Structure 1
Amino acid sequence: MYELTICNKSTLYYPSVIGNVTWETQRSGSPGVLKFEVYQDGKLDFEEGNEVRFIDNEDKVFFGYVFTKKCSSKNTIQVTAYDQLRYFKNKDTYSYSKKSSSELLKMLIKDFYLNAGSIDDTVYKMSRVEDNTTLFDMMINSFNETLQAKKKLYILYDDFGKLNLKNMEEMVVPILINPSTGETFDYTTSIDSSTYNKIKLVHEDETTKKRTVYIDEEVESIKNYGVLLYYETIQDATLVKQKASALLEMYNNTSKEFSVSKCFGDSRVRAGCGVYVQLAIDNVRFDGRMLVEKVTHTYSKDAHFMNLKLRGADFNS
């Protein structure tokens, strides 16, 4: 059994929910979202900005705020609520020097009056100018630099009203996804969106305005797929050759993705965590850990399922 509450100032409501409650998270660039529909019984009085809490049994799943209400002639209200990461859609301009991703996050949390939870020290420091950029993109840019330099991937997420930053390696949920736990499976390979075999980095000296171009490429991959170019204007030319090499190593691979529908639900599973997968589709097998790129949980009064998009690199054909 779950519990959904809406708090309007000092009044706490336990509305009658119609149908299912869905909770969705994505690994990067999107807030957590809770969607549900309730009866308007004449006593229910809430508005945009009010707090929403969702608890499944004893699992504290979601804490956020009402952003959208859609009323109907049937005396129902469809509600969309987001967690704190919704405020990372704000745009601003920042210039910072020698700050790590964790230090940048703490600065943004303070400036936008948000609530901090557990924030890992990401160690690697950088200097950047972010002009008219969303807070999401500021964090993504800093995460990318850290990943390229230290080969560590960090996940930013809201845990029941507190913003957390964790190394992906610390976010493994000990569950197994296999044919007995899911209903349908799809396997996709692609070079369409995140595969690059030529890296071009451009740096412009602020004083002389001289532009320097750095290129690294994989000839055999270009023969197979044509030129798939990654282009970036960089602010810091330090270790640029190593950066180009790291980007080529990271992106010169076919992307591989599993989609799994109607798994038995587990509220510990959020985007960015790792789960164990044991699946075979045609001649493709996977037996190991995969990264959750996106998960949609569906809660009813007597059941809980989840749909997953999973990403991994070590497929065996």
Structure 2
Amino acid sequence: MEVTIQNGSVVYYPAVEEGITWSTERKGSPGQLNFTVLKDKDLNFQEGNLVMLNVDGQGVFKGFVFTKKRNKGNTITVTAYDQLRYFKNKDTIQYKNITATELVKRIADDFKLNVGELEDTGSKITRIEENKTLFDIVQTALDLTLHNKEKMYVLYDDFGQLTLKNVESMKLDILIDDDTAEDFDYTSSIDGETYNKIKLSYENEKTGKRDIYIAQDSSNINSWGVLQYFETIDEKVNGKAKADALLQLYNRKTRSLTVKRVFGDARVRAGCSVPVHLSLGDMIVKNYMMVEKVKHSFNERDHWMDLILRGGGFIA
């Protein structure tokens, strides 16, 4: 592992304490690098300076110093983010008949960000976004693309270049099982977004009455009690179809899975899919799962990952 910091034309190779961490999330957050350096008389760097992490000679992280933290000791703890940090900026954007790919290119040009491989999402979109973060603006376009094309795309920073890829092209051959993972946290619950009764209401101005649409699962009501979802709808919505669709979506337990201290692989980032084969007690997982969040921990002699996974009935 090698961390470099560049201040102007000067490149530093600081002495870094054990415990470097690199984290990514599938949406809404930049890649983050945390490390602690030993301060000496020659080391001089500032917020905004370029930071790079190389692992086994391969570029893993490229970003910028955003926070420096010091105490009485002779160390500086650094937090650096990749280019996606600038997607926290807010703006008002109006666009017409362009793809999410073209939207990312436009934003990158406006904010002077470096662009790498951007796959063509194909679906044309027209929107007005007012006072939204760039993260939210792009994610809305990607969500609409998912709805229109049934394809999911992930925006991330690949060593200093904005990259947009279909998740289907991000599968890895890293098996996560009882041998490669030290521990896991598995939770099943009906306490979150679980509903066995859907009730939709529409104020019908023509009849002067309130139209009610209900979909429910009597079996799960007997098992769990009534867990009701309620929403008001407008006349453009097919109430019965929406109620049935919401029941199909929410009438189940929610499950979450975090796998801890997996053997590290620097190719793993949020948005990748990995094969998982784990016995969780009440079920066995044996399929590809998407990495929603990953935290890499680098030490002198080892490299571990903590993963939050989704898919196959699991949510993040």
In 2, the alpha carbon distance for the partners of 1:124 and 1:178 equals 37
* Contact 2:214-2:240 within 8 A present in 1 as well: no
Distance apart, 1:254 and its partner CA: 3.8
- Which residue is 1:166 aligned to? 165
- Given that residues 217 and 248 in structure 1 are in contact (C-alpha distance below 8 angstroms), is that contact kept between their aligned partners in structure 2? no
Q: Distance in 2 between matches of 1:3 and 1:189?
A: 40
Q: Which residue number corresponds to residue 85 of structure 1?
A: 84
The residue that corresponds to 1:155 in the other structure is: 154
After superposition, the C-alpha distances for 1:25-78 in whole angstroms (9 at most, x for unaligned) are 011100000000001111100000000000010221100000000112111100
Q: 1:219 pairs with 216, 221, 224, which one?
A: 216
1:281 match: 280
Identify the residue that residue 210 of structure 1 maps to in structure 2.
Answer: none
CA distance in structure 1 between the aligned counterparts of 2:245 and 2:164, rounded to whole angstroms: 23
Greater C-alpha radius of gyration? 2
Aligned to 2:116: 117
Whichever residue aligns with residue 24 of structure 1, its letter is S
Task: Judge conservation of contact 1:255–1:313 (CA < 8 Å) in 2.
Answer: no
Aligned-pair Cα RMSD in Å = 3.0
Instruction: Please state how far the C-alpha of 1:228 moved relative to its aligned partner.
Output: 3.0
In structure 2, relative to structure 1, the CA distance for the partners of 1:11 and 1:145 (3 Å cut) is same
Structure-2 separation of matches of 1:277 and 1:53: 31
Identity of aligned residues (%): 46
Distance 1:172 1:140 in 2: 21
1:8 aligns with 2:7: yes
Counterpart in 2 of 1:312?
311
Aligned positions of 1:1-317 closer than 5 A: 2-191=1-190, 218-220=215-217, 223=221, 226-228=227-229, 253-314=252-313
> Which SS does the other structure have where 2:139 is aligned?
helix
Q: In the alignment, is the contact (CA less than 8 A) between 2:270 and 2:292 conserved in 1? A: yes
TM-score (normalizing by structure 1): 0.85
Q: Contact between 1:199 and 1:215, CA under 8 Å: does it hold in 2?
A: yes
TM-score, with structure 2 as normaliser: 0.85
Contact 2:198/2:243 (8 A) holds in 1? no
Query: 2: distance between equivalents of 1:199 and 1:93?
Result: 35
Change (3 A) 1:220 1:241: closer
Q: Please tell me the residue identity of whatever aligns with 1:102.
A: T
Native 8 Å contact 1:20 1:36 kept in 2: yes
Q: Is the 8 A contact 1:31 1:86 kept in 2?
A: yes
Superposed CA deviations along residues 238-263 of structure 1, whole A, max 9, x for unmatched, are 99999998777666654322111111
C-alpha deviation, 1:110, in angstroms: 0.7
Question: What is the DSSP-based 3-state SS (H/G/I as helix, E as strand, rest coil) of the residue aligned with 2:137?
Answer: helix
How many angstroms apart in 2 are the aligned matches of 1:84 and 1:53?
Answer: 12
How far residue 219 of structure 1 moved from its aligned partner, in angstroms, is 2.5
Q: Is the contact made by 2:66 and 2:80 (CA closer than 8 Å) also made in structure 1?
A: yes
Query: Could you list the runs of 5+ residues in structure 1 that have no partner in the other structure?
Result: 203-213
Distance 1:198 1:136, change over 3 A: farther
Provide Cα deviations, 1:124-147, integer angstroms capped at 9, x if missing partner.
Answer: 112111110000001111111111
